[in-house]
Structure 1
Amino acid sequence: MAAVFDEFKTIAEFLQTTQKEKILIPEYQRPYAWGFDQIEALFSDLKDFTIDKIKDKTQETYFLGTIVYFVNDNGEKEIIDGQQRLTSIMLLLRAIYEKLSTSEITTPEGLNFINKIEPLLFIKNEMTGQVDKDDILIRSDVVSDSQNHTFHQILKTGKTQSGAKDNYSKNYESFSKLYDEFISQNSDPKAIYYFINNLLNYTTIIPIKAKTQDTALTIFNTLNDRGMPLSDADIFKGKIYKNLDDDKKVKFIQEWKILENETELANEKMQNLFYMYMFYLRAKADDKDTTTPKLRSYLLKKKPEFLRDDDLLENLRQILKILKFSKDLKDIDDEVWSENLQIKQVFSLLVLTNNEWWKYPSIIYYLTHKNSPNFENLYLKFLRKLFVSIFQRYSIEHAINSIKAPVLKLNVEITNNAEPKFDFKEILGDEENILKGKIIAPHVNLRYALVLFVAYEMANQTEILPERWELEHIFPQKWQNTYIEQTLGWTDAKLKELLWNIGNLTPLEKKLNIVASNGYFDKKKTEYAKSKVAITNGIDKNYNEWKPENIIERNGEIVKFVKEKFNQWAQ
């Protein structure tokens, strides 16, 4: 990994280097969030360390943590990890400097530390040795932090605005009060100077200098166990903001925050929206490569123009719309197609295929053709064909690689045609028998999807299935051996082969399934009759009893129906 892991550096040693390379808290970082608890803990640790050091006269140090950074094109130390601690240390140093420089009592120690701290806060003129208090050594450009200016002004002036409630102001004032308390609680007037000396010369960090931003982020995400690591979405937000004209920045932050909140409420992540967006851009660029590129590398290096795309946030909103709809199946305002029961049903089927690859073409189709005439019918036809294609190929091979290439080709086709060509491998010969077998005994990852498909299509289900439904085994999973062998004439082994067959499975509401439990057919029919699932509700009407022979019979009926319906949907 291209990084330099420095030896321990004291706070003074590290900050002295900022005379040549100022510190930047970049736009993609999260806002300054430390509160009084963290401020008090830091000051208390330093205070206890000082008291112990005065008593024992040891040369031990107080370790503050790591600082991960890289030097950007402007020659600044761009901080990736450690911004909360570093910002707090700068506020503490400024509070100490203010106390020392405005004190009525001048001591040699006080003058010494004023001179020591000045070049850690301000640019120092190499010729005169004087500092410029308007030229501070740290700058915060954090996009979503409206108090950046406040932070800068505190460092420049040593003052806060009356009644200020931001973290910078409150923490700065807290440091000042803690400083005064330390002096009042110690009979030794020089104790505070030991405290300052320990802060500057015995409080240490490990600076980790990376060669690039990518390397610095990799290191950070590896080391970070204190909270959420920076995501690619954070980086994109900062880059987009930086490229905007000043008159557009406020609106961008407002819209980003709204989208971020909506994304969180939908139990999604901004990162995922950008990931879906990458597949959309790849499709438009005729990119069918089955090797998925890294998100940040692709967008910033191959498609940097996306940073200035006026439609970006709108496209992300539309992507979120489809992702959210696929989960809750609720009507979308001003989107007539979203009221279509059949579209809702096929989305619920796609979700149950247990892979992400249906999402990319579904989203790309919507982004590309949502304003087309007859979109509702076109979308339904497309989604049905997509479900059948993925289900069949995934059933036969059960490998993501079997659907990757055709989906990527389909993505490109979608951008050119509202009725795109599907290039999934045709099912011929032995594969037809394999598929038949997979319909009879569906793979565990596709079992729910097939049972739901049968429920929707075979019984003409006129509504979405209840949210909490479970797979019901019509013939129970546990039985008495005497009943199986003597009454039914079957062996355990033979019956177990039928247990998970499609003919023995049906959807049932969870609360009804609990009551039905593991009973035999005669006892469970009452619960089936209460079900709002049409195919389950009809079982007690269509069958007087339920034996292994009924499972085999129903297997045949369902296989025939599914194959016919799949052929219709694939047209």
Structure 2
Amino acid sequence: MTVNNELQHSVFLALSSIRFLNDLIEADIDKDDNIERRDILMRKFIGYKSPKSLMFSPKLKLNKLNDPIYSSYLIQFHKVPNLRREPISNRLLVEAYGYFYKKLQTEIFEEDGINGIIDFIEFVGDNLQFIQITVVDELNAYLVFETLNDRGIPLTVTDLFKNYLFSRVDEADHNHIKNKWDSILKYIKYKDFSNFLRYYWISRNKLITEKELFKAIKREVQTQDDVIEIISSLEVHAEVFNALSDPKDDLWKGHKDTIKYLSELQLFGIKQPFALLLAAYEKFDIATFTKVVKICSVISFRYTVISGFKTNVLEQVYSKAANNIISSKSVNAAQVYKDLSSLYVNDESFTSQFIMKSIKTTSKNRLVRYIVYNIENHLSDSGKTNFDDDTGTIEHILPENPSDVWNKTFVKDTQLEFIYRLGNYTILERKLNKQCENKLIGEKLSLYHKSKYTMSQEFDYEEWNPNKLKHRQSKMAKIAKQIWKLDY
């Protein structure tokens, strides 16, 4: 059974106190009394000293990776050689040890001296308790593990799931399960595993919350064969799930459009379609999978980025669509779109939302560039310019910090309402943008017309006020409707 974090913290708190006493002994400070205090604490919390080797034998045994550094160095108060070469978990043990030691020194000893240390050690000695529970097999170990979880500080879904799997297979198969678990963790960080598990689960089962997830798995995963099946399937899907959040992953190498649409989802901060995409990658060829990613991207842009609708219904729809793929009710992109059509914001609603949309360059400059460059590419005959690679800059027609002369066309109190409207953006070369600064629109026009960007070249507003801005944003909305469109 794995030692939990709370127990490790308690052990290191006691061990740090003992080490502090050991340092006082070496400094010949109240030596006899501190030797007695140290030995009492060591026997009570850490272990016993061998009469033969005079080394401490620990009560607590850690896993195979961590136990040597704990038993041979930390509880013996020896420095760990070549710490940088140790696995990260061992480095973290040493770090925790040092953290508590430093806290004792700075927050107790330096303020209250030796009496403060003695009071703290007495407090630890009176209040810190360890309970050892012996079980006869892995299944009973799991039952104890789960009971303690129900009555104490809740464990994560990941902890519960992992221990449950081991409780359901024969001991002879533990290494097999462990190898698959380790294989999964090559792609999925431990802290992200519960998200991965839930998205995987709802791709083939009804939507549930993370809180309900473990109970649902327990109902369905009962036998050793069930365990082998789910851990093997998770192993296969782990690489895909990881790659969904990383468009630069080698899994997408050579698939330009797939990278493009996954990059858009990443830019939008959208993960709700992941259950659907896991299912689509499993069942479809890469061309069909890419069409599904595009559907998710366009829907996300219309529904979330521009319209700002509530996201609480998204996972329900995506989960059902994923279930249909797994069960082969949906066998192509058109059928997937049909399942998602309730999320596709229609043209009328989309354009009305786009006309009023504001996105701040101060916090979402890359998203603004994405939108404006897409419109520029639609208008331009010079090919597609990548918004990430191009050196052009976003020009605020009404400046971000307008001078008082702008107050005649934009009332000062309303300026903030319009500065970050999409209709107030164009693209300019960096040099031209700098020359524009806070100039009025009449002075900016000649600079705009020198630009290579079509949006600026064709800018023909000789006045710039709220009505003109709204008119221009309305024209942009009609273009956006054509760019972010699905025809099925």
* Shorter-chain TM-score above 0.5: yes
Query: What code does the residue aligned with 2:275 have?
Result: Y
Alignment correspondent of 1:405: 316
- Among 225, 229, 233, the residue aligned to 2:158: 233
- Among 258, 263, 267, the residue aligned to 1:348: 263
Larger % of helix: which? 2
Alignment correspondent of 1:161: none
- Cα deviation for residue 320 of structure 1 reads 0.9
Alignment correspondent of 1:296: 214
Deviation string 1:107-133 (CA, Å, 9 cap, x unpaired) is xxxxxxxxxx9xxx9xxxxxxxxxxxx
Deviation string 1:229-263 (CA, Å, 9 cap, x unpaired) is x6443444455456667776567656655654554
Larger % of strand: which? 1
Structure with larger RCO (C-alpha < 8 A, sep 6+):
1
Deviation string 1:433-455 (CA, Å, 9 cap, x unpaired) is 55333202226599965762452
- Cα deviation for residue 315 of structure 1 reads 1.5
Distance 2:373 2:313 in 1: 27
- Specify every segment of 5 or more residues in structure 1 that has no aligned partner in the other structure, as ranges: 1-24, 65-84, 104-116, 122-135, 152-165, 176-194, 223-229, 264-268, 531-535
- Cα deviation for residue 319 of structure 1 reads 1.0
Alignment correspondent of 1:6: none
Alignment correspondent of 1:14: none
- Specify every segment of 5 or more residues in structure 2 that has no aligned partner in the other structure, as ranges: 79-117, 134-142
Q: Does 1:26 align with 2:8?
A: no
- Among 313, 320, 323, the residue aligned to 2:242: 320
- Check whether the contact 2:358–2:421 (CA below 8 A) recurs between aligned residues: no
Alignment correspondent of 1:556: 474
- Check whether the contact 2:203–2:278 (CA below 8 A) recurs between aligned residues: no
- Check whether the contact 1:470–1:513 (CA below 8 A) recurs between aligned residues: no
Distance 2:6 2:431 in 1: 48
Distance 1:221 1:528 in 2: 65
Alignment correspondent of 1:465: 387
Q: Work out the percentage of aligned pairs sharing the same amino acid.
A: 12
Distance 1:469 1:414 in 2: 42
- Check whether the contact 2:393–2:428 (CA below 8 A) recurs between aligned residues: yes
Query: What code does the residue aligned with 1:321 have?
Result: A
Q: Does 1:537 align with 2:461?
A: no
- Cα deviation for residue 348 of structure 1 reads 2.8
Alignment correspondent of 1:190: none
- Cα deviation for residue 275 of structure 1 reads 2.0
Distance 1:358 1:261 in 2: 23
The 1:359/1:36 distance shift into structure 2, 3 A limit, reads closer
Query: What code does the residue aligned with 1:557 have?
Result: K
- Check whether the contact 1:525–1:540 (CA below 8 A) recurs between aligned residues: no
Larger-gyration structure (1/2): 1
- Among 438, 455, 461, the residue aligned to 2:353: 438
Q: Normalising by the residue count of structure 1, what TM-score does the alignment of the two structures yield?
A: 0.55
- Cα deviation for residue 385 of structure 1 reads 2.1
Distance 2:398 2:199 in 1: 45
Deviation string 1:198-227 (CA, Å, 9 cap, x unpaired) is 99x9565245899963564477758xxxxx
- Cα deviation for residue 400 of structure 1 reads 1.7
- Cα deviation for residue 399 of structure 1 reads 1.3
The total of aligned residue pairs comes to 410
Q: Does 1:213 align with 2:106?
A: no
- Check whether the contact 1:503–1:552 (CA below 8 A) recurs between aligned residues: yes
- Check whether the contact 1:470–1:507 (CA below 8 A) recurs between aligned residues: yes
Distance 1:448 1:278 in 2: 30
SS at structure 2 position matched to 1:422: helix
SS at structure 1 position matched to 2:128: strand
Q: Where do 1:35-434 residues align within 5 Å?
A: 39=15, 41-45=17-21, 89-90=45-46, 92-93=47-48, 96=49, 98-99=50-51, 142=63, 145-146=64-65, 166-171=69-74, 173-174=76-77, 204-206=127-129, 213-214=145-146, 216-217=148-149, 231-240=156-165, 256-257=181-182, 260=185, 262-263=187-188, 269-285=189-205, 287-288=206-207, 291=209, 293-303=211-221, 307-309=227-229, 310-325=232-247, 330=248, 332=250, 335=252, 339-340=255-256, 342-369=257-284, 372=285, 375-376=286-287, 378-394=288-304, 395-396=306-307, 398-415=309-326, 416=328, 417=330, 418-419=332-333, 420=336, 421-425=338-342, 434=349
Deviation string 1:333-374 (CA, Å, 9 cap, x unpaired) is 5x45x531x3333223323434432333233322332xx2xx
Distance 2:399 2:481 in 1: 27
- Check whether the contact 1:529–1:538 (CA below 8 A) recurs between aligned residues: no
